[in-house]
Amino acid sequence: MGNRFSCKSNPDGSKRSSRRFTGGNRSSRKLQTDEELLHIQALSLAIQHHQASQRFEGSMSRRIGSTSSRRRNSTASDPPVNNNTAKQVDSPEFLENLETKNIVLIHGEGFGAWCWYKTIALLEESGLNPTALDLTGSGIDLKDTNSVTTLEEYSKPLTDYLQNLPEDDKVILVGHSSGGACVSYAMEQFQKNISKAVFLCGTMVSDGQKPFDVFAEQLGSAEFFIKESKFLIHGNGKDNPATGFMFEKHQMRGLYFNQSPAKDIALAMVSMRPVPLGPMMQNLSLSKENYGAGRRFYIQTLEDHALSPDIQEKLVRENPPEGVFKIKGSDHCPFFSKPQALHKLLVEIAQIT
């Protein structure tokens, strides 16, 4: 597996690391067989709970604009692949001295815990302890999406999990897409229980921002979206404010899954649920003492159509994390399109002291 490493300066003069993973060719008959079985199990589970999913039929009112995905050239060359090192990094023995082996996976808008099935299998194989949660009204959680109005309620499965941890236990949080807002909210409330926070092409907002603000360049302002979008859901009737939104299936394919395997797209098509609008439009209150004291890392996805690489780079500049990593060839769902590269990065971040 090749990677590129470089250092960039934060506004305060400190350095942050940036590494690009190109993905690998690791494959084996056993891994392929296990993956096929996981596909079948995950798809079966999604179909069983399909009644909990809510469909939204609408039409696209305008073309969602895209921004340039051109990247600055790196002067670093790819180091040679060392298979022995790769095996050592993945081995349980290599992870004995970690601050924590507990990794909590938080899905993005419309997804559920089901989307992490590849990542869960890989992390467990490496000796880590992954936990994937369904946010309120997501996945197989039966709460009506239209009744989820605040980020506090939306994040409750995560905050309940953190609140029930033993006092000295810590976890690594991984937030995908808008799940990054839930991670930020949790960092403000439970900083002592969070070892590191990883934003996976996520909404790493600053104090006072809405999660939706991150997508504004591609979806339009919050005010425009609420007024004009054809993707809105009015769960309490047309005369009342919108309660959620959901893209059409063909639109989701282009935005989220432009590099993902067909089997994973099929799984997503029967599993995605509407996104509660209230949490996306809520301003976050983040303090330097809590959120600001946490260790944050960002993973950029370089073939992302939902949150373009340029917007992700802007997030990193405006709210600098401790480290920045990049996955080449990944769409907005690296847990589908580049699961091995994502796994390598999560293991590497877990080892950072």
The yes-or-no verdict on residue 262 having pLDDT over 90 is yes
- What pLDDT is stored for residue 8 in this prediction? 47
- What pLDDT is stored for residue 43 in this prediction? 54
Cα 26 from chain centre: 23
Q: What helix, strand, coil percent values describe the chain, rounded to 5?
A: 40, 15, 45
Catalytic residue among 49, 107, 305, 332: 332
pTM: 0.76
Three-state DSSP class for residue 245: strand
HSE-CB of 217 using CA atoms within 13 angstroms = 14
Q: Outline where DSSP puts E strands in the chain.
A: 3-9, 15-21, 102-106, 129-133, 171-176, 194-200, 232-233, 244-245, 275-276, 296-301, 323-327
Residue-wise pLDDT tens digits, 206-241 = 999 999 888 877 665 556 555 556 789 999 998 898
Catalytic residue among 304, 305, 308, 331: 304
Q: Outline where DSSP puts E strands in 30-122.
A: 102-106
- What pLDDT is stored for residue 145 in this prediction? 93
Confidence of residue 324 (pLDDT cuts 50, 70, 90): very high
Q: Look at the alpha carbons of 273, 278, 281, 284 in this order and tell me if their dihedral is positive or negative.
A: negative
Determine the average pLDDT of the residues in 169-173: 97
Determine the average pLDDT of the residues in 251-261: 94
Domain residue spans of the chain: 131-137+148-162+171-353
| Contacts with 180 (C-beta within 8 Å, 6 or more apart), sequence order | 108, 199, 200, 202, 203, 204, 205, 211
Residue listed under structure tokens 């877990």: 350
* Interatomic CA distance for residues 33 and 121, integer angstroms: 13
Residue-wise pLDDT tens digits, 60-89 = 222 222 222 333 322 222 233 333 333 344
- What pLDDT is stored for residue 68 in this prediction? 29
Confidence of residue 27 (pLDDT cuts 50, 70, 90): very low
- What pLDDT is stored for residue 55 in this prediction? 32
Amino acid type, 56: F
Residue-wise pLDDT tens digits, 140-154 = 999 999 999 999 999
- What pLDDT is stored for residue 128 in this prediction? 96
Least confident of 153-162, 242-251, 270-279: 242-251
CATH code 3.40.720.10 for 131-137+148-162+171-353: no
Indicate if 332 belongs to the active site: yes
Indicate if 177 belongs to the active site: yes
| Phi and psi angles of residue 194, each rounded to the nearest 5 degrees, phi first | -110, 115
Catalytic residue among 155, 177, 308, 337: 177
